Amino acid sequence: MTRRPTWTPPEVKLLREVQNLSQRAFAQRLGYAQSTVVGWEKPQRAAPLQHETVEVLDVELGRLEPDRRERFDQERGVVVHRLGAGSAVRTAAILATVDSEPGAPLPYTPPAGVVGSARLFLESSARVFLVSGSAGIGKTSLTRHLAQQFTREADCQLLTVGSWEMSTVDIAAEILRYASIPRGDDALLTLEEHSARLTRPCLVLVDGIASHEAFATVGRQIDAILRQATASALRFLLTVRTPPAIETTAHPLLHASLFTPADERHALSPWPVGEARAHWERAAGASFDSLSAGIQHLVRTPLYMKLALAAPPLAGGGDLGAYALVDHCVRRVLGTDGTERYFPLLTELAHRYGHDDLPAALNVLDDGAHPVPELPSDLPATLLRVTQHRQVEFSHDVLREFFLSTRIADLLHRQGRSVAAVQALNELADRASTSGAARSMFALVLERLDLLAPALLEAIATAPTASLRTTVPLMMSVAGQARFLTPEVLRSCAARAEHDNDPALSRALLGNPRLHHALGPGRYRWLLALLRQFGVTLWAEVTSFVEENFDSTDAYTFLDLANLADGAEATFFARHFYLFFADAANSTLEIFLSHTDWRVRAALAEALGDDTVSVDDTGLTVMTRLVHDTDYKVRAAIAPDVGRAPGHAAVTHLTVLLNDDNWHVRERALQGLDRLGLPSRRPDLIQAALDILATEPAWSRTPGHIRPSQDRLRILHAPPRDAAASNEEAAAFAHDPRAIVTILREIRTGHLTPPDYVRDRLIDGGRRSDRWLVRREAEHAAMTDPAEDDDPRRVRERYRRIRNHRSVQIALDLHDVAGAVQIAEAAADAGADFIEVGDPLIKEAGVRAIEQIKSAVEDTPVIAEMMSADWGRDQVVLAAQAGADIVQLIGPATTASVRAAVDAGRRLAVPILLDVPVKASHRWITEMERAGVDGFTVTTNIDVGIGSTTPLDVARELRHWTALPVAVSGGFSTTDSAVLASPDWDILIVGRSVVDALDPATAAKNLVELVHLSERHR
């Protein structure tokens, strides 16, 4: 295996000798005295070298040529794995070149949160880490910093999209080339072979993804790499320029492999003002407060601060936008004479390399001839750099976009008010909706035009041909305090938004700081019109608008004009009551508390669960009323959040709810205690709940569906136990294992991290349980470093990898558990890939049938077919508690219910499959992908007769819409040669031809052999 040296005396000496250097020459090369090197190599030295010295030697090792590195490793008795070692050599050389460049006036300061998350990523089983951020925020600097920092944890590659021809790039070949490995006949297979030999992470950092199109290419190829090269040591870190945000669900393996703790994405943000102030004053030696407010805002982005530092101190006075700041800095760097000479040349250079970005509507004004201009060699390095291929390029994409946007804005200005000008801006806005680079240029073009011809932008913003989906909303979003945004323009756009069916323009307007005053008294009716038209779609934007702009007069006027008798309208105000009321005695608040529509009162409960709002005296009064509400649904809504109440009030409310006359309310109160963490932030609430469970008579006869929540509280929060109590607990696990199975699975997936003494107690009790399922989960939970096939965090990735393979799923559509077990065992022995516990069997024998089947076919994944997708989360939990490996949901499903089911599946390491309804659309499939499902099934009940559309027809269309695995059923058997040869399915679901066969074992064996043979000939 490859291991990093600890720099013992022999290792230091070996590093010197493989380079044929004397001690004196080696010392000079490293910048140390010869006596220091002598000390490093002294055989008697026992103390480890200082951290700084180790870093110097690590860098020197990384600079070795491949043949010398190979000799170094061989002399140490280490087998070299070229993908890792070759990557380290190349990266060290690149970083050395970067380090040798003149020092920047602004030292790089890495964002601690993202760096820490990246380190956790390397320690996790995830394989993809996604970093996003706007132009100039420091994404490239971050990748270099991580490559430098992670030398002892990983071998890194530094790849950049800008160096590739995206139409022909082969990323697998690029990874191999980086490490000086021949691609062979098939780059993917070669990469698979080399990545399988890795003994520590090889982190491939791909920088410069600036558009949806580029991400589609990169994502598609990395998805293929993840599918083929399954070794977890091969990792990827991708940097994506945003906005607009990118969507990962079109790439199933990439999406399933993302490192997303607590569903967080890793976005780089501008510095906080205090941090920007410190950087500026340290680097510039001037007061940050002397900068105008606009420039203070801009220099919170590292690139703009670097540009501002590169120019002489900015004169006080008016604000500068992004375009004006870059323009100011460029002209200062070039000087008066240089600006006149070089500005046109730099604009021409940007146009030459970005000619395809020119809107087609402006081509009539373009002369069409754009040779690479001859540039003098003395142009500042701040603006240009020379690549290793001796090509001249801008030192940052933002500079190229600045000069290109200058050309585009000047052409638009020359075009004047016209249909062509509107078309050109429409085209730019369309591109900006899928490209971070295009969005940046749109903003720069807008700012320059606002300086040159604000009247032209006024005309375009109000033109009937300007797109209300892209152009006008983007103009509202990026314009800020632009001159063209007059009150008349804002009112005109607001009127159009009110009558448009798409919320894009309304959303953009609500974010504009000038809208409040522009609308005047009409603002209240306009907001109400939006709420009535778009409902919850715009709740977040309307809430932000109210919070940022309304005073008490505005708030009360808004409330007075609302129709609070209407449940839908009143629900919005109830959900955000903390924006409108400071006094619990307010008569309008009483309207909500006594509203006849329970959903309005439940919305008050949802507001009290908002973590961004504290529960003050008014909130506590509202909570008290809701705890005693006459409708159990309202009490159930507030129950999980009573722990947010201050002091003893929380205990009082919890006591009331745990003694409620409705079990659903009681269960919700128990579930809310989970939100307080482990160990709990409110131990007084935990103790109060345990006391009630032990003393209140009804809790001794808990209904079966409530029992897991009760057991969960006792299991997680019980004090350390003696041997007798532990035996009693193990017996309890056997009696009803649902809670302990759930907890053990959550421990395995990392969703629950109890204290060690709790974890050890649970595992010990589980191992001594009489139930096979509990013992199995305990053994798995005890694994500290599970093999890839046993790692529950990768189950979704493993299932999604089935795509483009051929698998058999035997559906046990029986009513007899004993017979089902026999057939399941025969199918597993025959090599079936999946065993499905069908809905008829679950209806007949309950979910216990799942456990019985799983215990009989332990090594074969069991799929539970669960009805009622609208209660998907509960169905997933029930199936997982019974031992299901995968859950297939059938029946009507909403996006919200599927998302809840997926969340439960991630928590319990259960992939989620979804049955495709008869009239499913491409849009519905995409929504379900985004909700997080792992596969789709096409099921046909042959009892309903023969139809004109076959399951394969549906599957064929479905496979064009999604890259997830597609399973298909329809009464198939070994005689369906056309089905077996069809490329339109990944998993063949077979029931009766095996289950009802006189010899199920032979039928299953023949079927599996035919299906697996068809894969070899696919």
In contact, 1003 and 850? CB cutoff 8 Å? no
**Distance in angstroms (rounded) separating the CA atoms of residues 1010 and 974:** 7
Q: What is the pLDDT of residues 633-692, one digit of tens each?
A: 999 999 999 999 999 999 999 999 999 999 999 999 999 999 998 889 999 999 999 999
Least confident stretch, 124-128, 255-259, 361-365: 361-365
Residue 785 above 90 pLDDT?
no
Q: What local confidence, expressed as pLDDT, does residue 918 receive?
A: 80
Mean pLDDT over residues 197-217, rounded? 93
Tell which wins on pLDDT, 432 or 72.
432
- Domain end point (choices 470, 485, 500): 485
Q: What local confidence, expressed as pLDDT, does residue 101 receive?
A: 46
Tokens for 478?
Answer: 């990026």
Q: How far, rounded to the nearest angstrom, does the alpha carbon of residue 934 sit from its chain's CA centroid?
A: 16
Average confidence score pLDDT of the chain: 88
Residue 868 above 70 pLDDT?
no
Tell which wins on pLDDT, 292 or 251.
251
Mean pLDDT over residues 754-777, rounded? 90
Q: What local confidence, expressed as pLDDT, does residue 945 receive?
A: 45
Residue 983 lies in a domain: yes
Residue 170 lies in a domain: yes
Residue 742 above 90 pLDDT?
yes
Q: Calculate the alpha carbon distances from 58 to 25, 70, 88, 234 in Å.
A: 18, 15, 10, 22
Q: What local confidence, expressed as pLDDT, does residue 949 receive?
A: 65
Say whether 373 sits in a helix, a strand or coil: coil
Q: What local confidence, expressed as pLDDT, does residue 784 receive?
A: 74
Q: What is the pLDDT of residues 970-983, one digit of tens each?
A: 888 888 888 888 99
Residue 289 lies in a domain: no
3-class SS letters over 221-272: HHHHHHHHCCCCCEEEEEEEECCCCCCCCCCHHHHHCECCHHHCCEECCCCC
Q: What is the pLDDT of residues 20-41, one digit of tens each?
A: 999 999 998 888 999 999 999 9
Tell which wins on pLDDT, 198 or 668.
668
What is the identity of the amino acid at 419?
V
Q: What is the pLDDT of residues 811-850, one digit of tens each?
A: 998 889 999 999 999 999 999 999 999 888 998 899 999 9
Q: Calculate the alpha carbon distances from 796 to 219, 313, 441, 814, 906 in Å.
A: 17, 55, 39, 28, 8
The closest alpha carbon to 147, from 60, 59, 259, 241, belongs to 59
Least confident stretch, 280-289, 520-529, 571-580, 736-745: 280-289
Residue 236 above 90 pLDDT?
yes
Residue 970 lies in a domain: yes
Residue 275 above 80 pLDDT?
yes
Instruction: Give yes or no: residues 947 and 890 share one domain.
Output: yes
Least confident stretch, 535-539, 617-621, 865-869: 865-869
Instruction: Give yes or no: residues 770 and 839 share one domain.
Output: no
Bridge partners (DSSP) listed for residue 836: 811, 863
**In which region does residue 131 sit, left (phi positive, over 0), alpha (psi from -120 to 50) or beta (all else)?**
beta
Instruction: Give yes or no: residues 797 and 755 share one domain.
Output: no
Residue 606 lies in a domain: no
* Cis ω for the linkage preceding 454 (within 30 of 0): no
Residue 729 above 80 pLDDT?
no
Residue 353 above 80 pLDDT?
no
Bridge partners (DSSP) listed for residue 392: 386
Instruction: Give yes or no: residues 822 and 726 share one domain.
Output: no
Q: Is 765 exposed, middle or buried (0-12, 13-18, 19+ CB in 10 A)?
A: buried
Instruction: Give yes or no: residues 395 and 445 share one domain.
Output: yes
- Domain end point (choices 485, 517, 542): 485
Least confident stretch, 88-92, 514-518, 1003-1007: 88-92
Q: Calculate the alpha carbon distances from 72 to 147, 154, 179, 197, 498 in Å.
A: 22, 19, 17, 19, 71
Tell which wins on pLDDT, 67 or 133.
133
Mean pLDDT over residues 736-745, rounded? 93
Residue 541 lies in a domain: no
Q: Calculate the alpha carbon distances from 367 to 79, 370, 382 in Å.
A: 60, 8, 30
Mean pLDDT over residues 931-960, rounded? 79
Instruction: Give yes or no: residues 126 and 73 share one domain.
Output: no
Residue 171 above 50 pLDDT?
yes
Confidence band for 417, pLDDT divided at 50, 70 and 90:
very high
- Domain end point (choices 485, 512, 546): 485
Q: What is the pLDDT of residues 580-602, one digit of tens each?
A: 988 877 888 999 999 999 999 99
Residue 80: half-sphere exposure toward Cβ, Cα within 13 Å: 20
Q: What is the pLDDT of residues 72-116, one digit of tens each?
A: 876 776 655 589 988 998 898 888 877 544 445 678 888 878 888
Instruction: Give yes or no: residues 261 and 218 share one domain.
Output: yes
Instruction: Give yes or no: residues 219 and 245 share one domain.
Output: yes
Tokens for 844?
Answer: 């007949």
Instruction: Give yes or no: residues 46 and 21 share one domain.
Output: yes
Instruction: Give yes or no: residues 756 and 832 share one domain.
Output: no
Q: At what angle do helices 66-75 and 82-99 cross, to 10 degrees?
A: 120
Q: What local confidence, expressed as pLDDT, does residue 2 receive?
A: 47
Residue 613 lies in a domain: no
What is the identity of the amino acid at 761?
R
In contact, 86 and 180? CB cutoff 8 Å? yes
As a residue count, the chain comes to 1018
% of the chain surpassing 90 pLDDT = 60
Q: What local confidence, expressed as pLDDT, does residue 324 receive?
A: 87
**Distance in angstroms (rounded) separating the CA atoms of residues 295 and 291:** 6
Instruction: Give yes or no: residues 26 and 151 share one domain.
Output: no
Mean pLDDT over residues 272-279, rounded? 91
Q: What local confidence, expressed as pLDDT, does residue 946 receive?
A: 45
Q: At what angle do helices 436-452 and 322-353 cross, to 10 degrees?
A: 120
Cβ neighbors of 211 (< 8 A, separation 6 or more) are 241, 434, 435, 436, 437, 438
Confidence band for 944, pLDDT divided at 50, 70 and 90:
very low
The closest alpha carbon to 484, from 500, 501, 497, 466, belongs to 466
**Distance in angstroms (rounded) separating the CA atoms of residues 208 and 160:** 6
Q: What is the pLDDT of residues 872-894, one digit of tens each?
A: 789 999 999 999 999 999 877 78
In contact, 639 and 655? CB cutoff 8 Å? no
Q: How many helices (H) and strands (E) does the chain have?
A: 51, 15
Which domain range does residue 154 map to?
Answer: 112-267
Tokens for 1005?
Answer: 């064996």
Residue 724 above 90 pLDDT?
no
How many structural domains compose the chain?
5
Instruction: Give yes or no: residues 872 and 906 share one domain.
Output: yes
Q: What local confidence, expressed as pLDDT, does residue 1 receive?
A: 39
Residue 731 lies in a domain: yes
Q: How far, rounded to the nearest angstrom, does the alpha carbon of residue 791 sit from its chain's CA centroid?
A: 20
DSSP letter string over 305-345?
HHHHHHSSPPPSSS---HHHHHHHHHHHHHHHHHHHHHHHH
Residue 313 above 60 pLDDT?
no
% of the chain surpassing 70 pLDDT = 91
